[in-house]
Amino acid sequence: MSGSEPLDDKARSVLASLCAQVAERPSRVAVLFPAVGRRVARGPGPSGDPTGTLGPTLEDLARIELLRTVVESLPPRDAATEVTDLYEYGDADEKRAVLHGLHLLDGAVPDVAGTVRNLLADALRTNDTRLIAAAAASPAQSLSDDHAWRQTVLKCLFVGVPLRLVAGLDTRVDLELARMCADFAHERSAAGRSVPADTRPVLDRFPEHPFHERPQEG
């Protein structure tokens, strides 16, 4: 329960009872998961961001504990099916919480890893920065292949999700991503638009792809 310190005693007590219900009958999560905001807690989490873009909200943290209970109560494939249903039936808040807890699924099982990749890809197809940020920041990004991961980084650049949130940024940046960022920067510059500062940390690591911003009046 390391993620739940931000919850007060009353919230933790209600959450514990919801988790107990899910442990006893995992399918109950279908109706308990959506009700978490009004029954346990809602509001900004440790990141201080009420939108949940920069980090999980209180209701996200509580929902992650329900996900943990599902994963502990069911075989890996069944848990993945239950979590997929929570995502697919979820509103934006519920989807975001699923993304924050996606790494709890057992990625060592090939089918389950496929499910995780599909849910990450779905979130990254939206234009909702809260979902994109949660998918990009997920430790489950380790299951994404390099192409998918680079596309994740590029999507974050496009929609303004800070790159520092992206899981694996320190270890996975490569020459191909630097090329993509350089092309993106050229395209923005050619259109007379500003180049996001977030491209610099990537480009600076690969001087093979220098990018010099053109004068804006061009």
- Compute the least distance from the CB of residue 194 to another protein, in Å: 9
Closest Cα partner for 211 from 189, 65, 198, 191? 189
How many Cα neighbours within 13 Å face the side chain of 116? Answer: 26
Q: Which of residues 10, 43, 158, 213 is near another protein by CB under 8 A?
A: 158
Tell whether residue 142 is a contact of another protein (CB under 8 A). no
Tell whether residue 91 is a contact of another protein (CB under 8 A). yes
- Compute the least distance from the CB of residue 159 to another protein, in Å: 5
What is the rounded CA–CA span in Å between residue 127 and residue 167?
19
Taking CB under 8 A as the rule, which mask of x and - marks residues 159-188 in contact with another protein?
xx----------------------------
- Compute the least distance from the CB of residue 192 to another protein, in Å: 13
Q: What angle separates helix 146-159 from helix 175-190, to the nearest 10 degrees?
A: 30
Tell whether residue 131 is a contact of another protein (CB under 8 A). yes
- Residues 47 to 66: which contact another protein by CB under 8 A? 51
Tell whether residue 122 is a contact of another protein (CB under 8 A). no
Q: Which of residues 1, 35, 175, 190 is near another protein by CB under 8 A?
A: 35
Q: Which of residues 21, 47, 81, 126 is near another protein by CB under 8 A?
A: 126
Residues of this chain that bind another protein (CB under 8 A): 30-35, 37-38, 51, 89, 91-92, 126-129, 131-132, 154-155, 158-160
